[in-house]
Structure 1
């Protein structure tokens, strides 16, 4: 796999049972790249390992005044230099390629999962964690994939050096063969504490990122209530906690690095002391002593790969665990043995969990006392249950479970607009250029959503578009517009799609009552004959609905028109008219009295 071949045609199905399994799966997907990188690493390290033998031969040839062997040593050193240069360049190229392609694979997997789950993702996983996984965690996972081939090459070379020294000079080779494994494994006792400190640092960094994300998202509200300084202080405190945790983590890694420097130095001193004694006794030659000394000195480089792989695994394993947790999220846990692709998803929308039914072709309004319950219900109606205990029952459309439909089909027939829709940057024409049936024109959708003042504002803000609001650019998330203007543009976008079922969660919560009344008329007019579900508590919308359903304590408890429910259902009046408990009890008492009187009259 080359960088020019990105993105991957198919990133594959990851093993998300654990972070370690995910890393193993990721490594298997790039087996070819790892093999190439390891081979180039072997060439690089073997070139380095060959230098001591060339130097030893050269020194001994000078001592023996042997010109032929000196020329041979020069040729060997030149060959080792070429191997080091070529191997180093190609090792870097292939290792970085492994890093980038692995990161791209993880990014594609996360993007695919985000597209599959939609807005439900942030209900199951904190927004800060999603940001951390898609940015810093991806880089750490890629780092481990990159470092793996260098570590394998370094480990093989250390084995070769130890075996070569045992064969070349057994007396000193034994010391090296015993000391090198000790050096390689010396960092293991320090890793658990270093890993714990690194985990604490990442946890605090994730919380700080989430706090920053939430603060930026609510900046307009914070300015309105004067809470900027309060949240700034909280973020400053959180960032200081991250700094302290990072310093504590860095101290452990500094200790590990120091260990990797001090212990090889001690081994080198032992080799030199023992080798000098052997040379003075005439048991080894000066050239052999120089060879062994040089070989031990050059083991520092491959030994650093052991430290790097330990750090990379310690940092990437929690990152892989978080990524695996996100990738393990499913649209639903319900499975079917077979799917009939020809099944037509049309008809009534029915939720067996709450008992809510939205008849086909009608405008159904749903009243919930809790806005959070309304938001979860909207997600369920779109085929995305937010709570684990809700996933055993799927919403039915015309008797067909939504989770049995292919995701693309389910999203074509059911569209959910939540209470805080997002507007992407671009022109207004691009905003409304979405997959649709083609039956609703953008002009009609804008008119139904009462976007006249939005079009005027965009026309006035136009710089080089000749006053055409459709060509005026909208800033990211529509920050240049008011909340009501953003809400109405999002509604227009939803109306343009003209889905089989349109679910709207509080589509007019940010507009005034006069505009809300006209928007309600526009929705009813444009969606005539289509199945529409509006979750709202505004009488202006409820009065225009064909039927109204009251959901209380997670169950549909009353059905009727707005005026019928006002007359006979105290719980409905409490939500819609904001009656107090005393007023609701009095109304219920009056209703019971009237019913009793009617019974006596009958």
Structure 2
């Protein structure tokens, strides 16, 4: 495959059982490229190895005074020079192609896995680790795949030269043939320690990357609470740990490099000393000594590939292990039921949404609000309603599938399930680009961006992005927002994400705290906008805001993981103490009275809430 053919039409199904297996699978997927690199590497290294023999023949021709043979040797050296140049150029070209091809394959696999898991990915793997795997680790894995063919070519060249020296000058060639394997293996005892220190360095670097990524993502919040110095101090500490670990790792690799410089020097001295004695004894010709010495000198070049492959494997194995760990994740880890069939009928339009785990029933075409006392429970419930798998902390009983129109969501094709049910979590992501591109999502076409923006009360957002746009931009839809919408406030990002979800117009829309970052007056208008725009469509909002709850057709309290009977917001305030405790945020003393009949205190709380709702409705 050429670089121009990227991306891969199909990156394949990786062997992600372990890091080494993943590296082996990558190598097998591009055997053609590895073979090309190996062939050009053999041309390059064997041409280099042929130079000493040509020089030796030239010396012997000069000593014998044979001009014709000397001309032939000169032509041979010129031919070897062309082979060296061509082989080096093509070896570099094919090796870099292997590197980029392998890196692109890993990136495509990670991107496919990210799209498959969705929000479940960051629940199982830290966001910083995902960034580290998809950037630095990908490069290291590609480096090893690229270095393999060059190492094999160098190893073959070393073997060929050693055999040729044994045949050409047996008395001295045996010394080289014995010494070269010792040189190649001399650094092996040091590699485990070097690998261990390199692993520690990468682990600390990964933690520092995670800390930096999470800090940047929450920079606005940190500034709001004055926590920049605290996190800066933590990052300084993590950075110093990385520096210390890097110095310790570099010392080991420096020792390995020193060994690989010292021992070849010892071999060269041995060859010169022993070879000179053989020449003095007339058991070896001068030209042969020159050829053997030159061959040993040039063999130090392919020996570098041995050190490189050791370093490449040392650095890429942990990277491949991390990548394999991400690629092993599955959308649903529950075993398939016996007798499962490949084809599952699609749910009929207008079906109810039902969660057997909590007993929550969401009637089709209704605006249902769900109140959970535990915010984490609300987040897990939203994910489960979207057909996402349960988290690692949930038991086997939590794996009961959510039903839409009587059909289990996790039995549907991923694309079908996502088209039917859309979940917007508490921290929606806005990608960089124009607003027009932001709303270019799969949609029914029944809701226009203008209507969705109006329902989400995004008028001030449009004005803000238009004011920040370059001169000449007249339409706010052509204005650009930065990555993750960091140029906007939290409330503005939240409303834009809500408008994007409304444009998609799925059959079932699940919103987790969609108005938590806006003021009460805007919140009331947004609730009215959602109710109006989603009329006749199934909508679930997980919230504890009285303003949103009052606009819902029905309200359900999920208490200790179980859905209680539904009712209207005002009825539940009067009749359900547990609901009132969550919505009004009663004190412990007030909650102690919840089991008693309706008191003046309860009537006062309920009355105040109703008065506030009426006042906000009037101002809205």
Tell me by how many angstroms 1:553 deviates: 3.0
Q: Which residue of structure 1 lines up, in the alignment, with residue 356 of structure 2?
A: 352
Offset from partner CA, 1:408-443 (integer Å, 9 cap, x none)? 111111111111112222222222222110111222
Tell me by how many angstroms 1:554 deviates: 3.0
Q: Separation in 2 of the partners of 1:185 and 1:356?
A: 66
Q: Separation in 1 of the partners of 2:210 and 2:355?
A: 33
Q: Which residue of structure 1 lines up, in the alignment, with residue 301 of structure 2?
A: 301
Q: Separation in 1 of the partners of 2:255 and 2:565?
A: 68
Q: Separation in 2 of the partners of 1:104 and 1:215?
A: 28
Q: Which residue of structure 2 lines up, in the alignment, with residue 235 of structure 1?
A: 235
Offset from partner CA, 1:441-492 (integer Å, 9 cap, x none)? 2221112112222233344445445643223222332223222122111111
Instruction: Give the gaps of 5 or more residues in structure 1.
Output: 593-602
Q: Which aligned pairs between 1:29-48 and structure 2 lie closer than 5 A?
A: 29-48=29-48
Q: Separation in 1 of the partners of 2:255 and 2:426?
A: 52
Tell me by how many angstroms 1:345 deviates: 5.5
Once structures 1 and 2 are overlaid, which stretch shifts more, 546-555 or 436-445?
546-555
Q: Which residue of structure 1 lines up, in the alignment, with residue 204 of structure 2?
A: 204
Tell me by how many angstroms 1:188 deviates: 1.1
Tell me by how many angstroms 1:302 deviates: 1.0
- Does structure 2 retain, via aligned residues, the 8 Å contact 1:44–1:85? yes
Q: 2:518 aligns with which of 511, 514, 534?
A: 511
- Does structure 2 retain, via aligned residues, the 8 Å contact 1:487–1:507? yes
Using structure 2 for the length normalisation, give the TM-score: 0.92
Once structures 1 and 2 are overlaid, which stretch shifts more, 530-539 or 393-402?
393-402
Q: 1:490 aligns with which of 489, 494, 497?
A: 497
Tell me by how many angstroms 1:321 deviates: 0.5
Offset from partner CA, 1:476-524 (integer Å, 9 cap, x none)? 3222322212211111111011001101010000111111111111111
Q: 1:465 to 1:507 in 2, by over 3 A?
A: farther
Q: Which aligned pairs between 1:412-491 and structure 2 lie closer than 5 A?
A: 412-465=419-472, 467-491=474-498
Give the SS at the match of 1:496: helix
Offset from partner CA, 1:134-188 (integer Å, 9 cap, x none)? 1000000010011011000011111111111111111112111111111111111
RMSD: 1.7
- Does structure 1 retain, via aligned residues, the 8 Å contact 2:125–2:326? yes
Offset from partner CA, 1:316-356 (integer Å, 9 cap, x none)? 01000000111111111243643326523641222222322
- Does structure 2 retain, via aligned residues, the 8 Å contact 1:382–1:416? yes
Q: Separation in 2 of the partners of 1:168 and 1:469?
A: 80
Q: Which residue of structure 2 lines up, in the alignment, with residue 338 of structure 1?
A: 341
Q: Which residue of structure 1 lines up, in the alignment, with residue 383 of structure 2?
A: 379
Q: Separation in 1 of the partners of 2:53 and 2:487?
A: 70
Q: Separation in 1 of the partners of 2:411 and 2:504?
A: 22
Tell me by how many angstroms 1:126 deviates: 0.5
Q: Which residue of structure 2 lines up, in the alignment, with residue 370 of structure 1?
A: 374
Correspondence 1:585 to 2:589: no
Q: Which residue of structure 1 lines up, in the alignment, with residue 616 of structure 2?
A: none
Q: Separation in 2 of the partners of 1:466 and 1:155?
A: 61
Q: Separation in 1 of the partners of 2:100 and 2:464?
A: 44
Q: Separation in 1 of the partners of 2:440 and 2:493?
A: 16
- Does structure 2 retain, via aligned residues, the 8 Å contact 1:573–1:584? no
Q: 1:138 to 1:444 in 2, by over 3 A?
A: same
Instruction: Give the gaps of 5 or more residues in structure 2.
Output: 600-620
Q: 1:296 to 1:441 in 2, by over 3 A?
A: same
Tell me by how many angstroms 1:266 deviates: 0.9
Q: Separation in 2 of the partners of 1:461 and 1:197?
A: 48
Offset from partner CA, 1:246-271 (integer Å, 9 cap, x none)? 11111111111111111111111111
Q: Which residue of structure 2 lines up, in the alignment, with residue 73 of structure 1?
A: 73
Tell me by how many angstroms 1:121 deviates: 1.1
- Does structure 1 retain, via aligned residues, the 8 Å contact 2:19–2:322? yes
Q: Which residue of structure 2 lines up, in the alignment, with residue 528 of structure 1?
A: 535
Q: Which residue of structure 2 lines up, in the alignment, with residue 361 of structure 1?
A: 365
Q: Which residue of structure 1 lines up, in the alignment, with residue 602 of structure 2?
A: none
Q: Which aligned pairs between 1:89-168 and structure 2 lie closer than 5 A?
A: 89-168=89-168
Tell me by how many angstroms 1:103 deviates: 0.6
Q: Which residue of structure 1 lines up, in the alignment, with residue 613 of structure 2?
A: none
Using structure 1 for the length normalisation, give the TM-score: 0.95
Q: Which aligned pairs between 1:2-13 and structure 2 lie closer than 5 A?
A: 2-13=2-13
- Does structure 2 retain, via aligned residues, the 8 Å contact 1:383–1:402? yes
Q: Which residue of structure 2 lines up, in the alignment, with residue 548 of structure 1?
A: 555
Tell me by how many angstroms 1:380 deviates: 1.6
Once structures 1 and 2 are overlaid, which stretch shifts more, 544-553 or 443-452?
544-553
Give the SS at the match of 1:590: coil
Once structures 1 and 2 are overlaid, which stretch shifts more, 154-163 or 579-588?
579-588
Q: Which residue of structure 2 lines up, in the alignment, with residue 599 of structure 1?
A: none
Q: Separation in 1 of the partners of 2:150 and 2:136?
A: 22
- Does structure 2 retain, via aligned residues, the 8 Å contact 1:176–1:296? yes
